[in-house]
A and B are shown apart, each in its own frame.
Chain A
Amino acid sequence: MSLKQNLHNLKLKYQGTKMEQTFNALHTFLYMPNNTTHSGAHVRDAADLKRVMNTVIMAMVPVLIFGMFNAGYQYNGQINGFENLAFLSWDNFVVGLEKILPLLIVSYGVGLGIEFIFATVKKHEVEEGYLVTGMLVPLVVPIDLPLWMLAVAVAFGVIIGKELFGGTGMNVLNPALTIRAFLFFNWAAFMSGDKIWVHGAIDGIKKANGVDAISGETVLGTLAANKHVGYSAYDMFMGFIPGSVGETSTFLILLGAAWLLFAGIGSARIMISAVIGALVMGLIFNGIVDAGVITESSKFYSLMHFPFWQHLLIGGIAFGIVFMATDPVTASQTNTGKIIYGFLIGLFSILIRVFNPAYPEGVMMAILLMNVFAPTIDHYVVQANVKRRMKRLKLKTA
């Protein structure tokens, strides 16, 4: 008997019992649901919610694999030197896998566990929204984050951030970012600073001369501290820099973006306008420095002087724009709204990044802020449209 038949039999066996939702979810996760619509619209897209979610996950897999290699590369490199270290080596991958796999398991275990419990209690189908969130979370947290913290944050994000609002599709804030924001404000020592972004840095492994063997500082941290950045633009673009698992490789994120656009899931409007927003803000800051308003004595100098286009290569901004700002639930729904929404995300990301060095990653707050404003943007876009058409109507009738 095939797997499909087995799952189908299980589904029939538990129909009408408490576990109905659970087995139904397992079945439809892998196969098309075999029930037909009885009323209303009969034209259905085969790409249902589960298929959409799976497509997004596919876009993130390269980033995840790269993150595993990079985690080991940074760790091994800082201990033994980068000179003779191959990037794509088994040693690197194992280090990353050991640290990242548990994060993935905890993220999915806790999150999906809560989803299944809610579905069983509330007797609705298991909602698929967590499939993407569960993948996003390990990609945006520091590699050495204690697992229990992740579990608490995921529980908070799913229950308070999503289920209380009515579950998948009803949440105001992006759940993955809610989880990250919760972690950030709850355990700031584990979520920011120069000791967390490379595996082992937080344990304080020392070299023979007593200097910390591993520095977990990111490029953003270096800039915020007004120090010189030692990485080339190529390194930053390809992602051979310290950082959270998913955020470092702008190249692979672009690949993911291309896949999302090809599949018609990510919104090109949001992505492009967010990039433009970030570039505009970066240009403004560069202009301020060029005009001589900010000199090297200012603590904002390094961040403002940093070439505007390179801002897109460091930190989580590329990852945020491609995978989080485009979340169809929390973004603006109207086409004009999407452009405004994306543009402001880019703008605010760089603004927060530059003016709040104690808080080097601006994109998280920028997206959460715009999530809150997305319905307002939509409201005004729709109202403007109504007004425009009313005017046209009056002109015609007059």
Chain B
Amino acid sequence: MADNKTKEKEPLFSKKNLGLVKDPLADNNPITVQVLGICSALAITAELKAAIIMALSVTFVTAMGNVVISLMRNIIPNSIRIITQLVVAATLVIIVDLTLKAYVPDLAKKLSVFVGLIITNCIIMGRFEAFALGNGPWKSFLDGIGNGLGYGIILVIVGFFRELLGSGKLFGFEVLGNPVDKTGLYALGYHNNGFMLLAPMALITLGLIIGFQRSRNKSLIEETH
């Protein structure tokens, strides 16, 4: 394969390879630019901790799944590739699910079905289909890491605002004071914004992030018809 020759010459962390990790973090972010994986971004971002666990789980599944699919890319018959991808994603998700249940059962309960639903996360199938099927394992691995983290970084930003404004906490610590004892900000008459804990505000927060990013980088703005 012609592809192989160039790859041998290429250093492991060439500029191009690093780009695979960096691009999805900003200019090609799976959530804010490609607008994939929105559902889980709305569902589990009420708490920062849950958002981070979710981000790590998705990163694990995209990275490992990309490697597996990439290794098998020449033997998967074209007609059943979607099913193969689903099986790989499902296997990895079950590994993640069981691991979470074993080591952090409380959080696993909070994430509930959403860990299982990683299987249906559009980002994962998208990366398998669009990248891993046509690239080597190392590149696919980097791409998976990049997209997983790109997804994660948005989750963390949304989760930060939702937990801080919605329940006055960060990682469960009461950074704004205690609402019952009326300490900190609450002594001044502050009250938590219950709306932030509901999905509509997650969507609006996400929309504001998307708008902010596009105002910084005009090339991301789609042409209007």
Contact = CB atoms under 8 A, between A and B. Distances in A.
Interface stretch (B26-34, B36-44, B49-57, B189-197): B189-197
B191 A182 contact: no
A175 to B, nearest CB: 15
Interface string A171-189: 0000000000010011111
B18 interface: no
B198 A185 contact: yes
Contacts of A190: 191
B195 A160 contact: no
B204 interface: yes
Interface in B67-101: none
* Interface-centre pick from B191, B193, B195, B200 (highest chain A CB count, 10 A): B195
B194 A186 contact: yes
B193 A186 contact: yes
Interface string A154-196: 0000001000100000000000000000100111111000000
Contacts of A185: 194-195, 198, 200
Interface in A77-103: none
Interface of A: 146, 148-149, 160, 164, 182, 185-190
A148 B189 contact: yes
A186 B195 contact: yes
The SS class assigned to the B binding surface is helix
A146 B193 CA distance: 13
Contact of B204 (A149, A160, A187): A160
A190 B189 CA distance: 12
Nearest to B166: A186
Nearest to A152: B193
6 contacts: A146-B191, A160-B204, A185-B194, A185-B198, A187-B191, A190-B191
Contacts of A164: 211
Given A146-B189, A148-B189, A188 B194 contact: yes
Interface string B176-199: 000000000000010101111010
A336 B210 CA distance: 38
Nearest 4 Cβ contacts at the A-B interface: A186-B195, A185-B195, A186-B193, A186-B194
A164 B208 CA distance: 10
B213 to A, nearest CB: 15
A190 B191 CA distance: 10
B156 to A, nearest CB: 22
Contact of A149 (B191, B196, B200, B211): B191
A332 to B, nearest CB: 24
A189 B195 CA distance: 12
A157 B191 CA distance: 19
A158 B155 CA distance: 27
Contacts of B196: 186
A319 to B, nearest CB: 23
A148 B193 CA distance: 12
A187 B189 contact: no
Nearest to B193: A186
Contacts of A189: 191
A185 B195 CA distance: 5
A357 B211 CA distance: 38
A4 B189 CA distance: 44
Contacts of B200: 185
A190 B193 CA distance: 12
A128 B148 CA distance: 46
Nearest to A181: B195
B168 to A, nearest CB: 13
A164 B210 CA distance: 13
Given A149-B191, A187-B193, A188-B194, 8 more contacts: A148-B189, A185-B200, A186-B193, A186-B194, A186-B196, A187-B191, A187-B194, A189-B191
B54 to A, nearest CB: 24
A146 B191 CA distance: 10
A148 B211 CA distance: 26
A187 B194 CA distance: 6
Contacts of B204: 160
A148 B191 CA distance: 10
Nearest to B191: A187
Nearest to A184: B195
A209 B180 CA distance: 27
A296 to B, nearest CB: 34
Contacts of A186: 193-196
A149 B189 CA distance: 10
B199 to A, nearest CB: 11
B155 to A, nearest CB: 21
A186 B198 CA distance: 9
A148 B194 CA distance: 15
Nearest to A147: B189
A355 to B, nearest CB: 21
A203 B140 CA distance: 62
A164 B211 CA distance: 10
Nearest to A186: B195
A31 B162 CA distance: 46
Contacts of A187: 191, 193-194
Nearest to A187: B191
A149 B211 CA distance: 25
A185 B197 CA distance: 10
B179 to A, nearest CB: 11
A227 to B, nearest CB: 27
Nearest to B189: A146
A144 B97 CA distance: 48
Contacts of B195: 182, 185-186
Interface string B188-225: 01010111101010001000000100000000000000
